[in-house]
Amino acid sequence: MCNKKVSGLFFILLSLGVGGLSGFLNMGAMSQYQTLNQPPLAPPAWVFPVVWTILYILMGIGAAIVYCSDSPKRKEALKTFFIQLVFNFCWSFFFFTLEWRFFAFVWLIVLLLLVLAMVKDFNEVSTVAARLQIPYVIWLCFAAYLNFGTWWLNR
């Protein structure tokens, strides 16, 4: 028997914690982002933490739904969730701290592919859990555009 509230809280806090730790560890380097040439449609800096907070909450809810499922495919889906979370965590370090902007773009494309795999795996367990990840996929596509554009304009 799965306690949905406890599981939901755990996965939401885990996702937010990973994102928060990544932001904290790269905070000093993030400040230079506004000094870079940015592509059209680049949002103001305050948008990023708001969007990422929402996305981490949706990730956590989706993972909790999968975790509480009786599906034999839930372990595989959660494995994909954790792998993409590690890739998500590392991206900021490559982009901001190391300033490896093109490498970060390639890493982001791999992250996007992992998230698409996660959505597929989640969908085999719960369509709701999978659909909760759609904003994440859309944001990663936009982030890839921003990442590539920032690299291109500052190379």
The total number of structural domains in the chain stands at 1
**Per the domain annotation, does 37 fall within a domain?**
no
**Per the domain annotation, does 129 fall within a domain?**
yes
**Per the domain annotation, does 48 fall within a domain?**
yes
Query: What residue ranges of the chain have pLDDT lower than 70?
Result: none
**Per the domain annotation, does 33 fall within a domain?**
no
Looking at every residue in the chain, the average pLDDT score rounds to 96
CATH code for position 122: 1.20.1260
Which candidate, 143, 137, 26, places its Cα nearest to that of 92?
26
Host H or E run for residue 76: helix 74-92
Could you report the per-residue pLDDT of 11-39, keeping only the tens digit for each? Answer: 999 999 999 999 999 888 888 888 999 99
Q: What is the DSSP string of 106-140?
A: HHHHHHHHHHHHHHHHHHHH-HHHHHTTHHHHHHH
Q: How many CB atoms lie within 10 A of CB 71?
A: 13
Which candidate, 94, 20, 32, places its Cα nearest to that of 56?
20
pLDDT at 12: 97
Give the C-alpha separation, 60 to 11, whole Å. 4
Which candidate, 112, 109, 96, places its Cα nearest to that of 148?
109
Please give the structure tokens belonging to residue 74.
Answer: 């839930």
The pTM (predicted TM-score) of the whole model is 0.95
Give the C-alpha separation, 14 to 103, whole Å. 26
**Per the domain annotation, does 36 fall within a domain?**
no
**Per the domain annotation, does 83 fall within a domain?**
yes
pLDDT at 110: 99
Please give the structure tokens belonging to residue 105.
Answer: 């773009």
> Residue 145 belongs to what domain range?
4-26+43-153
Give the C-alpha separation, 65 to 127, whole Å. 10
pLDDT at 1: 73
pLDDT at 58: 98
pLDDT at 138: 99
CA distances from 71 to 32, 63, 65, 102, 125 (A): 45, 13, 11, 39, 6
pLDDT at 27: 84
**Per the domain annotation, does 146 fall within a domain?**
yes
